[in-house]
Amino acid sequence: MNIQVITHPLVQHKLTLMREAECSTGKFRTLTKELARLMTYEATRDFKIEEYEIDGWCGKIQGQRIKGKTVTVVPILRAGLGMLDGVLDLIPSAKISVVGLQRDETTLQPVSYFEKLVDKMDERPALILDPMLATGGSMVATIDLLKQKGCKNIKALVLVAAPEGVKVVNEAHPDVTIFTAALDSHLNEDGYIIPGLGDAGDKIFGTR
């Protein structure tokens, strides 16, 4: 399986706070952002770097910078927006490509309603953001879209994943690594992750 569960104590501590039934909108939103920030640190660990010369206080010295075209982050609306600021805290220059998908509550199939991608997708690494990976339909649809635009280096950042969805994404796109704070037990009959977080979009936006 192409999945990395981030077991860092801070990540696990914060995720557990989010699982509490009484977690308020404000707290849930803050924790989503904090987790996204911590997970970005892990998900960017293999970014390539290059040497370049800078003027240091004592003269010319060699420094390092991230190589290649600036990364694009791809929040999946709505809930993925909750992770965006956490990622931008660490990669302030990132370009933002937005994908709007709504899961049909009966069929559980993703329905596309918005798409605005940045230029030169074929040259940029992409980090897809969505707190929940349930059936995997939304993630596969987003990866399909990015690959159609020429994207070659794609990673997915989620807070909670269901084994069913991980299998679907891994089978459709074995090259895409999924970074998650938790690999949970299963999906219930309504397509919700158990134990999961409940409806992450509703909790972030206060629409529950």
Q: Which residues bind ligand URA (CB under 6 A)?
A: 132, 134, 191-193, 196, 199-201
DSSP 3-state assignment of 174? coil
Any known ligand binding at 125? no
166 binds ligand PRP (CB under 6 A): no
Q: What is the CA radius of gyration of the chain?
A: 18
Angle 6-202-23 (CA atoms, 0-180°, nearest 5)?
65
Asked if 49 and 67 touch (Cβ cutoff 8 Å), the reply is: yes
What tokens does 207 get? 């629409």
Q: Of ligand URA, ligand PRP, none, which one does residue 133 interact with (CB within 5 to 8 Å by kind)?
A: ligand PRP
57-76 mask for ligand PRP (x: CB under 6 A)? -------------------x
The closest alpha carbon to 118, from 136, 93, 140, 101, belongs to 93
The nearer residue to ligand PRP, 79 or 127, going by C-beta atoms, is 79
What tokens does 199 get? 């409806």
Among 166, 191, 197, 203, binds ligand PRP (CB under 6 A): 191
DSSP 3-state assignment of 179? strand
Any known ligand binding at 133? yes
The nearer residue to ligand PRP, 86 or 201, going by C-beta atoms, is 201
137 binds ligand PRP (CB under 6 A): yes
The stretches of 54-162 forming alpha helices (DSSP H) are 81-90, 137-148
The nearer residue to ligand URA, 6 or 193, going by C-beta atoms, is 193
180 binds ligand PRP (CB under 6 A): no
| C-alpha span between 139 and 180 (Å, rounded) | 13
What is the identity of the amino acid at 90?
L
Any known ligand binding at 193? yes
What tokens does 165 get? 């969805």
- Name 153's bridge partners: 125
The nearer residue to ligand URA, 71 or 130, going by C-beta atoms, is 130
Q: Of ligand URA, ligand PRP, none, which one does residue 196 interact with (CB within 5 to 8 Å by kind)?
A: ligand URA
Q: Which residues are annotated as a binding site for 5-phospho-alpha-D-ribose 1-diphosphate?
A: 78, 103, 130-138, 199
Residues that bind ligand PRP (CB under 6 A): 76-79, 101-103, 108, 110, 130-139, 165, 191, 200-201
